[in-house]
Amino acid sequence: MSGRPTESFFRLLRDSLFGIDAGKIDLTDGEWLELYRTSRSQACQAVIFDSASRYDMPVKIREAWSKEVASIERRNARIRKVTEVQSAAWEKRGITAVELKGQAVAALYPRPEHRVCGDIDWWFPIEEDWEKAIAAAHENKCETTIDSDGDVHYALAGVVVEYHKKGFRENTPEGRIAFLCRHIAKHAMVFGVGMRQVCDYALTIRKYDSTYDRAKVASFCKDMKLNRFLPILNRAVEILFAAGITDQKDVSIDDMAKDFIDLVMVDGNFGHDKKHMFIGFFMRLRFFLRCAPGAFFGRWSALITGRIKRWFITK
């Protein structure tokens, strides 16, 4: 995807997250609308607005954008409250729980309340605590479901809570970076992944830049059959943000990195942009067959098997 609105999207994103001046933004009314829609499809609308609000834009678009930012702030406040309540409940029950993504990643943003929030994600390093946490959900009369990865989902106070079973190795910088890499690949392989997740990854890399063990992250990703995807993701981050965040300087994979960026922009956040659904499918098929075929087929196999199992269970 290209054009002035897309170019402005990237420039404003760098400005908001890394303080790289966006320079002159001079768009037509139609281009401002396209920029707004792109920001929404990528779940980056509040982050983009932090910089875009400095520029002249159509009044109606500014009003709609401002209302959406306010809604995101309210949603974040609610999720923070539920997270705090759950954290206190885990502590009271003697359960060791690690918060993944969500508010933990939002804290890395210049304005945490402007990261579009989704679920509350937990990981339990002790198997017994996993069982206790599920029991606690049932005690609160929450109806739990299990997805194809074995992760547990339920709704609490209007917020989706997820217990992760796979993908997170340990509560270390290396564990968190590898988990985010897997999370991006996992969704990009099926319905699509948005720029929000790439921003999460970039900001996490920056936080741990001088402390994390690159070889250990690579080893974790190799175990998940993502060892060829990892450098492509890192190179995409370098191309996108031009902030020297990763050590990936291998320009020979630039074409693959740009293909990944195109895939993200076509699909939108978790396949938000349905009009490009079929185009996105063939793009991700072609992309992952070149860099992570084992993980790609494994992901689709687990997804199909999980859906079949759930179908039989509900019958």
Which of 135, 164, 193 is where one domain is finished? 164
Q: Are residues 154 and 189 in the same domain?
A: no
Q: Would you place residue 274 in the very low, low, confident or very high pLDDT band (cuts 50, 70, 90)?
A: low
Indicate if the pLDDT at residue 275 is higher than 70: no
**Structural domain includes residue 297:** yes
Per-residue pLDDT at 278 = 59
CB-neighbour burial class of residue 226 (10 A; exposed 0-12, middle 13-18, buried 19+): buried
Q: Are residues 287 and 304 in the same domain?
A: yes
Q: Are residues 42 and 114 in the same domain?
A: no
**Structural domain includes residue 70:** no
**Structural domain includes residue 69:** no
- How many structural domains comprise the chain? 3
Q: Averaged over 48-73, what is the pLDDT? A: 97
Q: Are residues 31 and 101 in the same domain?
A: no
Indicate if the pLDDT at residue 268 is higher than 90: no
Q: Are residues 126 and 178 in the same domain?
A: no
d(Cα 231, Cα 221) in Å, to the nearest integer?
Answer: 10
Place of tokens 């005690």: 139
Question: What is the domain range of residue 141?
Answer: 76-164
Which of 164, 189, 212 is where one domain is finished? 164
pLDDT tens, residue by residue, 9-31: 999 999 999 999 999 999 999 99
* Residue of 207, 264, 198 whose CA lies nearest to 237: 198
d(Cα 161, Cα 156) in Å, to the nearest integer?
Answer: 7
Task: Name 107's bridge partners.
Answer: none
Task: Name 161's bridge partners.
Answer: 120, 154
Q: Are residues 194 and 310 in the same domain?
A: yes
C-alpha dist (Å) from residue 10 to 39, 146, 148, 195: 10, 37, 34, 10
First to last CA, the chain: 43
Q: For the chain, what is the mean pLDDT?
A: 89
Q: Are residues 32 and 91 in the same domain?
A: no
Q: Are residues 214 and 128 in the same domain?
A: no
**Structural domain includes residue 282:** yes
Q: Are residues 147 and 180 in the same domain?
A: no
Q: Are residues 138 and 205 in the same domain?
A: no
**Structural domain includes residue 68:** no
CATH number at residue 124: 3.30.460.10
Q: Report the DSSP pairing between strands 120-123 and 159-164.
A: parallel
Per-residue pLDDT at 240 = 92
**Structural domain includes residue 111:** yes
DSSP 110: S
Indicate if the pLDDT at residue 173 is higher than 70: yes
Residues 39/29, Cβ–Cβ less than 8 Å: no
**Structural domain includes residue 66:** no
Backbone phi, psi, residue 146, to 5°: -120, 130
Place of tokens 């450098």: 231
Q: Are residues 302 and 186 in the same domain?
A: yes
d(Cα 220, Cα 101) in Å, to the nearest integer?
Answer: 18
Q: Would you place residue 2 in the very low, low, confident or very high pLDDT band (cuts 50, 70, 90)?
A: low
Q: Are residues 80 and 126 in the same domain?
A: yes
